[in-house]
Amino acid sequence: MIKRKWKLIILPLISVVVIIVLFLYISASWKRTKVGILISMTGKYSEVGSHMAGGLEMFKLENPDSDLVLILKDTQGDPAICAKLAEELIRKEHVKVLVGETTSKNTLELVRTAEKYGVPVLIPRPVIYDLDDYDCAFELAPDVYDVSKVVIATLKSLVGKDGRVLVVHDEGNDYSRKLTKNLDSNLKEIGYSVNPVSDISRWRKDDFNKYSAIVVHRKYSVEMANIVKRILSLGYGGRIIVASAKLELMKEYLGEKTEGIYFIDYRFRYTEEGDRFSKKFFEFFGTRPYLSAVLMYDSLSYIEFLVKEKRGIPLKEAIRNTPYRGIAGYIGNETDRKSLLIPVICTSKGVKPLDRFGR
């Protein structure tokens, strides 16, 4: 009789405890937000991907109590794998946010897959090392990945409100054509006249001197350097703007004679001085880290902010309002003392100076 009474008391108590534990576990799991991270850790972008992974590990180590559950997947630089992994993360892992920090073509697949399921996407910065990838970038956010805005800002500061501009571009390259088209329409609106050409082999000094500035854009740095050399050899005295230039390569090809030439370096630049993560990352990786790792690490706090604020992230808003994205570069010339290198970023709101951390 007593045993039966104990059973009647203990069994309900055990059931209540089990229910409470399950409730707490489910509540804790529900509270935690799964974030799918898709990056390329093998092949062409392996070095960048490895730094991304390091940044994520650091975030987890320093934020053990974070509500974020970070699920890292390697896209292997393959758009098809990227799309498949994105689908798996959404359907099987039930991620609340997808983060893409990989090649532009992969990012495009990531965006398309996320759109299909209505999952918000955060793009800290699509890695664009090849100009061919700009086609994808234009499709993702045409008003953001438009270096023509940086060129226009440069022209305004160097030439003034109006003037004649010669654009030496590459008719066979899609991005170069888009850049020229945007330059043409935007410059005409503010009083400039634009003449796009692709071949200047027969041009003479007088032909060039009709223009107050010359914008040079080709796919390869060596091509741009050769064009600049020809223009300089004919004694052109105006401003030369080299768009989307790899500064180190251009200096190598041109030597130190770069007065009057203004380079727009489209890549994000890492600066050790004043960077709040430099010491931390230096100790962690043992070498000077890539800026992309810093971006990825800090952008996770942005995801956390969005999750805590319970803000929806529509696709266009995610792309346009992500703190770190756009074409970053420098306007200026290191050898010209009158011209300081001004770091700028091209966003949907126009061209603005960057602070030391690229915000």
Check pLDDT > 90 for residue 84: yes
* Sheet strands (E) in the chain: 33-39, 68-74, 97-101, 121-122, 163-168, 192-197, 213-216, 239-242, 261-263, 327-331, 342-347, 350-353
Report residue 97: phi and psi, to 5°: -140, 140
Residues 6+ apart with CB under 8 A from 315: 111, 114, 115, 120, 121
pLDDT (average), residues 261-284: 43
In this prediction, residue 3 carries a pLDDT of 55
C-alpha angle 151/320/114, rounded to 5°?
130
Check pLDDT > 70 for residue 327: no
28-32, 128-132, 163-167, 341-345 — which one is most confidently predicted on average? 163-167
Instruction: Provide the β-strand partners of residue 33.
Output: 68
Check pLDDT > 80 for residue 268: no
Check pLDDT > 70 for residue 16: no
Query: What is the pLDDT of the chain when averaged over all its residues?
Result: 64
Contact at 8 Å (CB) between 343 and 353? yes
Identical fold between 33-142+276-321 and 148-265+327-353: yes
Q: Number of helices (H) and strands (E), helices first, in the chain? A: 13, 12
Contact at 8 Å (CB) between 324 and 345? no
C-alpha angle 308/23/12, rounded to 5°?
160
Lowest mean pLDDT among 123-127, 210-214, 222-226: 123-127
How many residues are listed for the chain in this entry? 359
What is the rounded distance in angstroms from the CA atom of residue 226 to the CA atom of residue 232?
10
Percent of the chain with pLDDT over 90: 3
Candidate CATH numbers 3.30.200.20, 3.90.870.10, 3.40.50.2300, 1.20.140.10; the one for domain 33-142+276-321: 3.40.50.2300
Residue 185: pLDDT band by 50, 70, 90 thresholds? confident
pLDDT (average), residues 314-320: 41
pLDDT (average), residues 329-333: 37
- Give Cα separations from 247 to 87, 147, 317, 341 (angstroms): 39, 15, 32, 12
Superfamily of domain 148-265+327-353: Response regulator (3.40.50.2300)
In this prediction, residue 330 carries a pLDDT of 35
Residue 92: pLDDT band by 50, 70, 90 thresholds? very high
In this prediction, residue 278 carries a pLDDT of 34
For 158-170, write each residue's pLDDT tens digit.
777 668 888 888 7
For 120-164, write each residue's pLDDT tens digit.
766 654 443 333 444 444 444 444 445 676 677 777 767 776 688
Residue 357: pLDDT band by 50, 70, 90 thresholds? very low
In this prediction, residue 351 carries a pLDDT of 43
